[in-house]
């Protein structure tokens, strides 16, 4: 929660309504992130690693002495870094290696020392002729939910919306997202102590709507965000639109962590912007068709680490 970059302004840009004009805020200068003297990559492995860091961290240049975490890296980005190294360099790196070799040159040298070895097999669309197993992370959260509940794993997004809002298009946008991503419409069921997942239709998903005053908002919002999920019955994304009057709205959405994380949250927000604009204007969306779903990953993970299971075939 600590900002990576601080930008000092003489005054905040404001909209005509007196709100902060986010679009007019200057882009942070990422060149100030590292305190290390810049030294250009000296060999091919360092050049490859620098390109990966630049793409992942969104910065213009990376020197051999730069530290991944000083440049804005964190645990989630470390996971993505491992994935990019696998894709670009055909090397399997444990995430612990990223934390042990935080300097770019050190990580490049470490990766170069690794043999190509046996890479993980590619994830592919799997035939679903039986019950779909839970992934290991789903199974862990499902167990915690039964043990103590998982309120701590609610992932809320709250936005203030102003001016003309097409509520029907807003609901259709969210419903389309639920339809695109099976994991958001997956129930976690069990039999004889073993959990499995069941994908349901998005048809019954709906946006809750409430008309309240600004004074009632805080309490109502807190209750909504803290309302527990029933993993066996509920969609893993729910949304409520609060109408405050005078074209002032609050949109509250809650994901359950069993279906989403910080990485996927950014993807879903981008999809929301694209879909709402397209549906509002009557244009075709440019979002690509999803060729893989989370259930395909769960089946792949179980097959790779445990071998074929009767619940899969």
Mean pLDDT of 94-109: 90
* 270-282 pLDDT per residue, tens: 899 999 999 999 8
Tell me, yes or no, whether 209 lies in a domain: yes
Banded model confidence at residue 309, pLDDT cuts 50, 70, 90: very low
Domain co-membership, 233 together with 152:
yes
Q: What tokens does 4 get?
A: 């990576």
205: pLDDT strictly greater than 90 = yes
Q: Rounded to whole angstroms, how far apart are CA atoms 31 and 60?
A: 8
Q: What is the CATH number of the domain that holds 87?
A: 1.10.1200.10
Tell me, yes or no, whether 312 lies in a domain: no
Residue 82: closest CA among 70, 68, 71, 98: 98
Domain co-membership, 154 together with 252:
yes
Domain co-membership, 91 together with 202:
no
Domain co-membership, 142 together with 97:
no
Domain co-membership, 138 together with 106:
no
Residue 274's domain spans which residues? 132-306
Mean pLDDT of the chain: 86
Tell me, yes or no, whether 254 lies in a domain: yes
* 34-68 pLDDT per residue, tens: 556 788 899 999 999 999 999 988 888 888 998 88
Residue 313 is predicted with a pLDDT of: 31
Mean pLDDT of 215-237: 93
Domain co-membership, 93 together with 191:
no
Domain co-membership, 177 together with 99:
no
Domain co-membership, 82 together with 160:
no
Domain co-membership, 57 together with 153:
no
Banded model confidence at residue 312, pLDDT cuts 50, 70, 90: very low
Residue 310 is predicted with a pLDDT of: 40
Of 87 and 46, more confident: 46
Q: What tokens does 193 get?
A: 């102590």
Q: For 64-125, give the secondary structure using H, E and C.
A: CCCECCCCCCCHHHHHHHHHHHHHHHCCCCCHHHHHHCCEHHHHHHHHHHCCCCCCCCCCCC
Domain co-membership, 287 together with 238:
yes
Q: Rounded to whole angstroms, how far apart are CA atoms 244 and 214?
A: 6
69: pLDDT strictly greater than 50 = yes
Domain count along the chain: 2
Domain end point (choices 54, 83, 113): 113
Tell me, yes or no, whether 13 lies in a domain: no
Q: What is the CATH number of the domain that holds 139?
A: 3.30.559.10
Tell me, yes or no, whether 217 lies in a domain: yes
**Residues ≥6 apart with Cβ < 8 Å to 133:** 196, 197, 298, 299, 302, 309, 311, 312
Tell me, yes or no, whether 127 lies in a domain: no
Domain co-membership, 105 together with 164:
no
Tell me, yes or no, whether 35 lies in a domain: yes
Q: Taking phi first (over 0 means left), then psi (-120 to 50 degrees means alpha), and beta for anything else, what does residue 297 get?
A: alpha
Domain co-membership, 165 together with 82:
no
181: pLDDT strictly greater than 90 = yes
Tell me, yes or no, whether 17 lies in a domain: no
Residue 101: closest CA among 76, 133, 78: 78
């Amino acid at each position: 929660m600590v900002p990576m970059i601080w930008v000092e302004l003489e005054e905040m840009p404001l909209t005509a309504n007196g709100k902060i004009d986010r679009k007019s805020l200057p882009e942070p200068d990422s060149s100030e992130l590292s305190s290390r003297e810049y030294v250009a990559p000296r060999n091919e492995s360092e050049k490859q690693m620098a390109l990966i860091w630049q793409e992942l961290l969104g910065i213009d240049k990376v020197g051999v002495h730069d530290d991944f975490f000083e440049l804005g890296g964190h645990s989630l980005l470390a996971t993505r870094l491992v994935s990019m190294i696998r894709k670009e360099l055909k090397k399997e790196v444990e995430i612990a290696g990223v934390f042990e070799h935080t300097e770019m040159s050190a990580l490049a040298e470490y990766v170069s020392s690794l043999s190509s070895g046996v890479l993980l097999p590619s994830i592919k669309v799997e035939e679903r002729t039986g019950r779909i197993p839970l992934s290991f992370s789903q199974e862990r959260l499902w167990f915690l939910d039964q043990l103590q509940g998982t309120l701590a794993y609610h992932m809320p997004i709250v936005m203030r919306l102003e001016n003309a809002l097409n509520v029907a298009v807003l609901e259709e946008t969210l419903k389309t997202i639920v339809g695109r991503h099976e994991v958001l419409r997956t129930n976690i069921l069990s039999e004889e102590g073993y959990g499995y997942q069941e994908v349901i239709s998005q048809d019954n998903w709906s946006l809750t709507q409430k008309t309240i005053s600004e004074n009632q908002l805080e309490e109502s919002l807190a209750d909504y965000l803290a309302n527990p999920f029933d993993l066996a019955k509920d969609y893993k994304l729910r949304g409520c639109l609060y109408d405050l009057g005078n074209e002032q709205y609050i949109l509250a959405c809650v994901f359950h962590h069993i279906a989403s994380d910080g990485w996927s949250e950014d993807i879903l927000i981008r999809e929301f912007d694209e879909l709402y604009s397209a549906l509002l204007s009557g244009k075709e969306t440019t979002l690509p068709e999803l060729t893989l779903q989370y259930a395909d990953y769960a089946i792949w993970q179980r097959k790779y680490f445990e071998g074929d299971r009767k619940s899969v075939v």
